[in-house]
Amino acid sequence: MNRINKLFQEKKNILSIYYTAGYPGLNDTLKIAEELELAGADLLEIGFPYSDPVADGPVIQASSKEALDAGMTLQLLFGQLKELRKTVNIPVLLMGYVNPMLQYGVDNFCKSCAEVGVDGCIVPDLPMVEYEELYMDVFKKHGLTNIFLVTPQTSDERIRKIDGLTTGFIYLLSSSATTGQNLQVSDQTEAYFSRIAAMKLDHPTMIGFGISSGETFDKACKFANGGIIGSAFVKSLDPQDLKGSVHRFVEKIRG
Amino acid sequence: MSYFVNEKGYYGDFGGAYIPEMLYPNVEELRNSYLKIIADENFQKEFHELLKDYVGRPSPLYLAKRLSQKYNANIFLKREDLNHTGAHKINNTIGQILLAERLGKKRIIAETGAGQHGVATATVCALRGLECVVYMGEIDIKRQAPNVARMKMLGAKVVPATSGSKTLKDATNEAMRDWINNPVDTHYIIGSVVGPHPYPDMVAIFQSIISEETKKQLLEQTGSDQPDYVLACVGGGSNAMGMFYHFLADEKVKLVAVEAAGKGVDSGHSAATTALGKEGVLHGSRSILMQTPDGQVVEPYSVSAGLDYPGIGPQHAHLFKSGRGEYVSVTDDESLQAGLLLTQLEGIIPAIESAHALAYLEKMKFTSHENVVVCLSGRGDKDMDTYMKYFDL
Ligand SMILES: Cc1ncc(COP(=O)(O)O)c(C=O)c1O
């Protein structure tokens, strides 16, 4: 069984952490992965930076820009992750925008992912139709899963379609928003989470966007298999004390 | 070969809707309704009344005699500069505001480069009493100050885009982020034939009034509605697509699209997308864009804020790749000189964007009596500062 399915079978209250490859230091990518696993994260989403990240708020825009300015490229990232599976056992996803992936070549990209032991991808601006028609076979050939996003405005019909296409989990956005805002669970959000739960989907769900504290993480766990934290983690990274800042952050969330 | 969009939202290899899920419901709503709304009799009536009585259409097709003499051809100028607000941009914003109203939207957002599209959007929002937010690169806010003041006077909120190169591309990113965060009550009026399907098609339809009128006017003035050449400048490509639209199927009409070479195509300071770009995805569609080998978007450069964009619309990418259109470029210097030439031969001060199309006349060889239509997409008022500095006026 692959690492992602195994994780969801074995664990509850899953903590997934997003961070940008090449930030705060160009060569911190693997080190952060290792420390996150030691600190108790269950799943990693490593962002490959893009110059025009339209779905991201200011924190991830800034980390992406710093990483790119420092020289981060997909080629370099796969180099940094070459030894990933010597030290990191938890599942790892790559997250980024479609254009860098297209330039690298989708087949090549999937091949490189498989070679270093990456388990799947999240590509917010790769549409479902194009994925299904052009790229799904390539992903499958290399044993990769593709994770899709769902917002409160996504129709049930479309959620069913996503449930049929993914092989991992479904990424529930707490609201239609760019990354980095605070999760506010209103009656409406609660109704949306309950609606999804009542659909009895084949795949587990994770709630992301706007989770920043132990309290918001606990809320996510109440409605889904776990929560995803991005901006709050990226903001907390201290280049002077990388290891310490990673551990302090995870402890704060896990409580 | 078809040069129009297919049912999947593609023009050949280009187009589509590469958008995050957060934008899907909005874009899907548009996709399902735009053709129906536009075809509606009541919409058509209101659209054409406003174009006539508010914008001042039809815009004249003017035979520029002294320019024609110089180039040994019959050069006609399609006078979009005489439209209300001074450019072709308002054809699109009138169409989209009527569409937004029919979708029940209360809030309008837009991006702008030169400020022309921002002004055209702020104008229709004032006209219809809708809230208006315009995103504009911090650098463009500085170089297009009069247009910023116009937008403010019209009641729009102008928000500086401070990310990336702080120009049109970044203003577009910020507008998309706003739309993601306001998914229900807001309509995004994109200013060119770019963005996810159905925007490129929708904007082209609204701008197609330019070639629709041109054909009629040519027939009246020359006895034939078929010119030999049609020229227009290309930023995202909306005035060009409007100018080409009704000539696309007529392969005898040569289409010439003029991009901004900035300080020279190979100078490292250019916005000549087809010369420097590769296929990829930007702002929601697959097209041609200027990028690094790693797929990061390159910052373009042009003296003209309206052409300072690293991509072109997907329909243009298709015209380029299929060979239907000829894509060329001229430099800052060449266009500023062409702007001065038109001013002194014809008494018309063109926008620097439009001066790019005029500058290419210099490089063409005519065999006399050929009929050439140049889209004069806008007037030069907003560019006086640049002209004054360049010519030491
Ligand atoms: C006068 C004028 N012409 C042309 C353009 C370029 O846009 P497009 O290529 O969409 O026509 C602009 C954009 O601001 C403009 O103001």
- Chain A residues with beta carbon closer than 8 angstroms to that of B19: 125, 127
| Position A105 in a domain | yes
| Position A193 in a domain | no
Q: What is the pLDDT of residue A255?
A: 81
Number of domains in chain A: 1
Among A34-38, A49-53, A207-211, B228-232, which is the least confidently predicted range?
A207-211
| Model-wide pTM > 0.95 | yes
Domain extents in chain B: 18-50+89-203, 56-87+208-391
Catalytic site includes residue B389: no
Distance B239 CA to ligand 1 centre (A): 6
- What are B88-130's pLDDT values in tens digits? 999 999 999 999 999 999 999 999 998 999 999 999 999 999 9
- What are B320-330's pLDDT values in tens digits? 999 999 999 99
Window B:182-201, CB contacts with A under 8 Å: 183-184
Q: Which CATH architecture has domain B56-87+208-391?
A: 3-Layer(aba) Sandwich (3.40)
Residue A236's domain comprises 3-147+212-254
Nearest chain A CA: its distance from B181 CA (Å) = 4
Q: Which CATH architecture has domain B18-50+89-203?
A: 3-Layer(aba) Sandwich (3.40)
The active-site residue, picked from B111, B334, B346, B353, is B111
Catalytic residue numbers of A read 45, 56
- What are B194-231's pLDDT values in tens digits? 999 999 999 999 999 999 999 999 999 999 999 999 99
Q: B333: how many CB neighbours lie within 10 A of its CB?
A: 14
Catalytic site includes residue B89: yes
Decide whether any atom of ligand 1 lies within 6 Å of the B234 Cβ: yes
Among A55-59, A81-85, B90-94, B161-165, which is the least confidently predicted range?
B161-165
Position B10, amino acid:
Y
| Position A178 in a domain | no
Q: Alpha carbon B380 to chain centroid distance?
A: 15
3-state secondary structure chain B: CCCCCCCCCEECCEECCCCCHHHHHHHHHHHHHHHHHHHCHHHHHHHHHHHHHHHCCCCCEEECHHHHHHHCCEEEEEEHHHCHHHECHHHHHHHHHHHHHHCCCCEEEEEECCCHHHHHHHHHHHHHCCEEEEEEEHHHHHHCHHHHHHHHHCCCEEEEECCCCCCHHHHHHHHHHHHHHCCCCEEECCCCCCCCCCHHHHHHHHHCHHHHHHHHHHHHHHCCCCCCEEEEECCCCHHHHHHHHHHCCCCCCEEEEEEEEECCCCCCCCECHHHHCEEEEECCEEEEECECCCCCECCCCCCCHHHCCCECCHHHHHHHHHCCEEEEEEEHHHHHHHHHHHHHHHCCCECHHHHHHHHHHHHCCCCCCCEEEEEECEECHHHHHHHHHHHCC
Whether B18-50+89-203 and B56-87+208-391 share one fold: the answer is yes
For residue B113, give the ligand 1 atom closest to its CA: 14
Catalytic site includes residue B111: yes
| Position A170 in a domain | no
The CA-atom distances, in angstroms, between A2 and each of A9, A83, A123 are 11, 19, 20
| Position A180 in a domain | no
Greater pLDDT, B167 or A241: A241
| Position A154 in a domain | no
Q: What is the pLDDT of residue A188?
A: 84
Average pLDDT over residues B233-260: 98
The complex's ipTM?
0.95
- What are B330-342's pLDDT values in tens digits? 999 999 999 999 9
Minimum-distance CB partner of A50 among B19, B24, B296? B296
Rg of chain B over CA atoms, in angstroms?
Answer: 19
Helix, coil or strand: residue A20: strand
- Chain B residues with beta carbon closer than 8 angstroms to that of A158: 24
Q: How confident is the model at residue B289 (pLDDT cuts 50, 70, 90)?
A: very high
Q: How confident is the model at residue A86 (pLDDT cuts 50, 70, 90)?
A: very high
Q: What is the pLDDT of residue B10?
A: 98
| Position A194 in a domain | no
CATH number (domain holding residue A58): 3.20.20.70
Q: How confident is the model at residue A50 (pLDDT cuts 50, 70, 90)?
A: very high
Task: Please check the confidence at residue B262 and state whether its pLDDT lies above 80.
Answer: yes
| Position A197 in a domain | no
